[in-house]
Every structure is written in structure tokens, then in C-alpha cells.
């Protein structure tokens, strides 16, 4: 077919227009072979477009089946016909969220949203679910309907669904978002003032890691505050523009925003773009691990470092943080084995502080799918202390308070690998098994006896270490 011909010849399809020139020859007639080739090309591409649309409809149908299955699981987990207490039902809800998160390999917050959306689709928006099952709308549109009907009474929900469902079948997701917000305001019996006051309670700031040593910093604020902040950034950025300023307005806004928060003596001019990382972060006082390969620290390698809670960072930033930021905990790793040689401000090998060693090893909560930083978590005995579990690194792991409670209250079981690797195997109440790995492997490169002696603070091989730390 012509599509194959185009790919093999790396050419555009034959042009079916008339002969070139402003005054085409009236006697010109298209080549029959060229016309057939053009028709074949259109037919082939049209078939592929039809296939894409068909797959999209199937995805919608699968999403509907998933919503029905998730809602059935929720209803089953929350059954109250067996005389269970309210506390038990609440723990069953939390356990279901965790089970769904593990089964679908998504964060628990995502799983919780999926369960809520599924319940709304099945219980409150039957026509939307029907349209989704028929492939008439995407799950993106269905989620918007769920979100915008939340908080409305039954009558307003039904009216908004009836009004906007036909629109969802004809417009893109983003355009649908705008249209349904306008319609919702007209139907919502509660004043926008009351809803705004309630929504203000949800204000927050979050960080999302990105590629190449970058991250997104987002703030959920009242609209007036957000716009005022952005306007201020635009104004200061424009004031800095000039013949000798090479940065774009977008870059200037980012620099001004950063400097106002990180540089104590900054006037918000955004003029610290080239300042070393350590200089910019003098006012920062968190306790953060920065792992630096030994050869990178000495400038003999360009292997990336690692920033706790983020991931890989470029070697220059890693060296700056290790040398100039006293609030950062510096960690040296062996250039060949990757074993941890130093944890703490200026300490080598494994430290006496067992909790700090575990924080370095785990990085985050060790529950499947949870990414809460270890520094904000509890240290849990994998094998309970009350049943003979020992307080040693191969029986300890970080769990956030929510997952810690879930483990002990909902029947989740854990077991750590005997080889000291830090791997934790989880068994859910339904019998499913999942395994989580530590963020930083430590045990594989250091003998068990050496770890035990170092952790108990009974022995440090000082002869192996230089007299002065190389910082």
C-alpha cells in the first residue's frame, strides 16, 4: 500500500494537484497511477485514524469496567452486616485503598481518588457511567463530571449531568472543564463565598521532581493571592529587562521568585542566577542528605550525586552542597563498590546512630507505593518486638504514621530479607505479596560483623581513615 511506499522511500505522498505554474495547461490530466496512489494513501491513513478512535473507545469501556469493579470492592470491604465496629470499618477502608494502590501500582492518594470517583460514577452519575461504557466519552470527561458535581445536592447533580453530558461527547477535555465550571456556578445553591472559605483550608505547597536536576514547586492558593504573586513576578522581571540582560522574562520570573525565598539579603532583583548553590542556600536550615561519590567530591569524576527526597543531581551542585552547606548531611560512597563510607557531618564508614543509617538506607516510607520521606516517618520493627523481634537494621524499616497504623491494625504482614539487603516483603490481608527495595543499598558492600560493631558504637577502624576529613 502507499503508506509502506512512503515510509520506504522517505518521501511525501504524490501531489494530486495540477501542473506547477500560475497558468496551468487546460489540457493537463492527472496520471491515473498517481490518482490511485493518492487514494490508497488516504485510505490507509484513514484506516489508522479509525483504529486510533476505536482503541480510544475501548479504553473508555475498560475504564467503566474498572470503576464498576472498584466500587464493588469498596462496597464489599465496607459491609456492616457482620457486626463490626466503626473503627474496624474505617480500618477496612484504609486497607482497601492500600490494596488497590498496590494492585494498580499507583500512590495511595491516587487509589483513594479512584475509589471515590468509582463510587460517584456508579452511585450518583449513572448516565455518565452509561456513556463511558458505550465509549461516547473519555474517562477524562467522566472525572470532570465527578469533580464538578461533588458537593452538589442530588437535584443539582442530576441537572448538571443532564445538561453537560451531551457537551462532553463533542468537545475536548480542557474546553469541557471551562464550560462545566460556568454551568456549575449557575446551579450551585451554596454561595461562592461559603465555598471559597471552605476551599481556603486546602491551601498547600508541593514539590514534584522533574528531569535533569530540576523540580516543579506548586502552590495552591486563593486565586487573588496567586494572581497578585504572579503579577509581582512579572513586574519585577520586566524591570530587569534591558540591553545587557540575556535572560528571558520567564527565566527572570523564576530567578526573582527563588531569590526572594532563598537569599536573605536579596532585594528580589533576580541577580543571583550565577551564584553558587551554597551561597544561595545559606538561609536554608533543613536536615537533608546529599550523597556524593568520593571521586566526584575530589573532582576526579562527573558521576551524579543524590539529594534525599529528590534523586540524581549534577556533580557541581553535589560538590557545592557538600562543601558549603552545613545544613546538609554529607555522605561519601566508595568509588567501586558504592558502599557508604561516611554518614553524618564528617563521619566515615557506618555511623553509631542506627536511626540515621536507616534513614539513609530507606529514603522513604517502605510501604508499597508510599513516597513520604523517611525523615517524616516512624521506625518500625518488621518482626514485632513483643514477639521476639530484635532492634537491628535487618528488622527495622521506616513507615509513615498512616501505613504504620495500617500494618498493625489491618493485618498487613512484613518480612525483611535475611541477607541484610533491606528488601521488605509485604503480605496483604487478601494474601497478595509485594516487595519494596531500599533507596540506597548499604549491606551488600559491608560485612555484617562490621555493620554490627559500628552500629553498636563499639569499634571504628580509625587506621583506615585519613586524619582529617577531606571537606
274-to-28, 258, 267, 280, 360 alpha-carbon distances in Å: 65, 13, 16, 10, 31
Angle, CA 272 vertex, CA 269 and CA 277 arms, to 5°: 145
**Quick one: pLDDT at residue 285?**
43
φ and ψ of 263, to 5 deg: -105, 105
Which residues, 6+ apart, have CB-to-CB distance to 399 below 8 Å?
Answer: 365, 366, 367, 377, 378, 379, 380, 407
Rounded distance between C-alpha atoms, residue 127 and residue 251, angstroms: 47
Per-residue tens of pLDDT for the chain, all 471 residues: 444 544 444 444 444 455 555 566 666 677 888 888 888 898 899 999 999 999 999 999 999 999 999 999 999 988 765 544 555 778 888 999 999 999 999 888 899 999 999 999 999 999 999 999 999 999 999 999 999 998 888 999 999 999 999 999 999 999 999 999 888 888 876 666 677 788 889 999 988 888 888 899 999 998 888 888 998 899 999 988 888 889 999 999 999 999 888 876 666 565 654 454 445 544 444 445 666 665 566 666 677 776 766 667 777 777 776 666 555 555 555 454 454 444 333 332 333 456 777 888 888 999 998 888 888 888 888 888 677 777 777 788 899 998 999 998 888 999 988 777 889 999 999 999 999 999 887 644 344 444 444 444 443 333 333 334 333
Rounded distance between C-alpha atoms, residue 14 and residue 12, angstroms: 6
φ and ψ of 303, to 5 deg: -65, 135
Question: 270 is written with which cell numbers?
Answer: 533576580
Give, as one character, the DSSP assignment of residue 347.
-
Q: Are 286 and 309 in contact (CB under 8 A)?
A: no
Rounded to two decimals, the pTM is 0.63
**Quick one: pLDDT at residue 51?**
94
Question: Is the CA virtual torsion 308, 313, 319, 325 positive or negative?
Answer: negative
Strands (E), 7-139: none
Rounded distance between C-alpha atoms, residue 312 and residue 318, angstroms: 9
Q: Are 179 and 152 in contact (CB under 8 A)?
A: no
**Edge-to-edge strand order for the sheet containing 433-436?**
413-416, 424-427, 433-436
Torsion (CA) 403, 405, 407, 409 in degrees, nearest 10: -140
**Quick one: pLDDT at residue 376?**
87
331-to-114, 296, 300, 363 alpha-carbon distances in Å: 39, 12, 17, 13
**Quick one: pLDDT at residue 176?**
94
Closest CA to 101 of 367, 310, 365, 366: 367
**Quick one: pLDDT at residue 36?**
86
Instruction: Annotate 372-400 with b (16+ C-beta within 10 A) or e (fewer).
Output: bbbbebebbbbbeeeeeeeebbbbbbbbb
Rounded distance between C-alpha atoms, residue 377 and residue 347, angstroms: 24
**Quick one: pLDDT at residue 196?**
77
Amino acid at each position: 500500500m502507499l503508506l509502506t511506499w512512503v515510509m520506504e522511500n522517505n518521501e511525501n505522498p504524490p501531489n494530486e494537484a495540477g501542473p506547477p505554474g500560475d497558468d496551468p495547461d487546460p489540457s493537463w490530466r492527472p496520471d491515473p497511477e498517481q490518482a490511485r496512489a493518492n487514494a490508497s494513501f488516504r485510505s490507509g491513513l484513514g484506516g489508522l485514524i479509525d483504529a486510533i478512535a476505536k482503541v480510544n473507545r475501548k479504553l473508555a469501556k475498560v475504564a467503566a469496567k474498572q470503576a464498576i469493579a472498584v466500587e464493588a470492592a469498596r462496597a464489599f470491604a465496607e459491609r456492616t452486616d457482620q457486626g463490626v465496629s466503626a473503627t474496624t470499618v474505617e480500618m477496612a477502608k484504609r486497607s482497601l485503598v492500600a490494596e488497590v494502590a498496590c494492585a494498580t501500582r499507583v500512590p495511595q492518594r491516587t487509589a483513594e481518588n479512584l475509589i471515590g470517583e468509582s463510587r460517584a460514577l456508579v452511585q450518583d452519575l449513572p448516565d455518565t457511567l452509561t456513556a463511558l461504557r458505550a465509549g461516547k466519552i473519555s474517562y477524562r470527561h467522566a472525572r470532570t463530571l465527578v469533580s464538578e458535581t461533588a458537593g452538589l445536592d442530588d437535584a443539582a447533580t442530576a441537572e448538571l449531568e443532564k445538561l453537560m453530558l451531551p457537551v462532553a461527547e463533542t468537545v475536548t477535555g480542557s474546553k469541557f472543564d471551562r464550560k462545566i465550571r460556568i454551568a456549575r456556578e449557575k446551579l450551585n445553591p451554596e454561595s461562592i463565598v461559603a465555598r471559597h472559605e471552605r476551599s481556603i483550608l486546602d491551601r498547600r505547597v508541593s514539590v514534584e521532581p522533574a528531569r535533569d536536576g530540576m523540580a516543579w514547586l506548586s502552590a495552591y492558593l486563593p486565586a487573588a493571592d496567586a494572581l497578585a504573586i504572579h503579577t509581582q513576578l512579572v513586574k519585577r522581571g520586566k524591570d530587569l529587562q534591558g540591553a545587557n540582560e540575556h535572560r528571558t522574562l520567564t527565566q527572570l520570573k523564576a530567578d526573582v521568585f527563588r531569590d526572594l525565598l532563598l537569599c536573605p539579603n536579596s532585594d528580589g532583583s533576580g541577580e543571583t542566577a550565577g551564584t553558587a548553590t551554597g551561597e544561595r542556600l545559606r538561609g536554608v536550615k533543613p536536615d537533608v542528605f546529599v550523597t556524593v561519590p568520593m571521586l566526584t567530591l575530589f573532582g576526579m569524576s562527573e558521576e551524579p550525586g543524590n539529594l534525599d527526597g529528590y534523586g540524581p543531581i549534577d556533580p557541581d551542585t553535589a560538590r557545592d552542597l557538600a562543601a558549603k552547606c552545613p545544613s546538609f548531611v554529607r555522605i561519601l560512597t566508595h568509588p567501586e563498590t558504592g558502599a557508604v563510607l561516611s554518614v553524618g557531618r564528617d563521619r566515615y564508614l557506618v555511623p553509631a546512630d542506627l536511626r540515621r543509617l536507616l534513614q539513609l538506607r530507606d529514603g522513604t516510607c517502605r510501604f508499597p507505593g508510599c513516597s513520604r520521606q523517611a525523615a517524616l516517618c516512624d521506625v518500625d520493627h518488621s518482626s514485632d518486638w513483643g514477639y521476639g523481634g530484635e532492634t537491628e537494621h535487618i528488622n527495622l524499616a521506616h513507615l509513615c504514621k498512616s501505613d504504620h497504623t495500617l500494618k498493625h491494625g489491618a493485618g498487613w504482614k512484613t518480612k525483611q530479607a535475611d541477607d541484610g539487603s533491606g528488601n521488605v516483603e509485604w503480605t496483604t490481608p487478601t494474601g497478595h505479596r509485594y516487595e519494596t527495595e531500599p533507596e540506597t543499598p548499604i549491606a551488600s558492600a559491608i560485612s555484617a560483623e562490621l555493620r554490627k560493631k559500628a552500629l553498636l558504637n563499639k569499634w571504628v577502624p580509625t587506621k583506615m581513615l585519613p586524619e582529617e576529613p577531606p571537606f
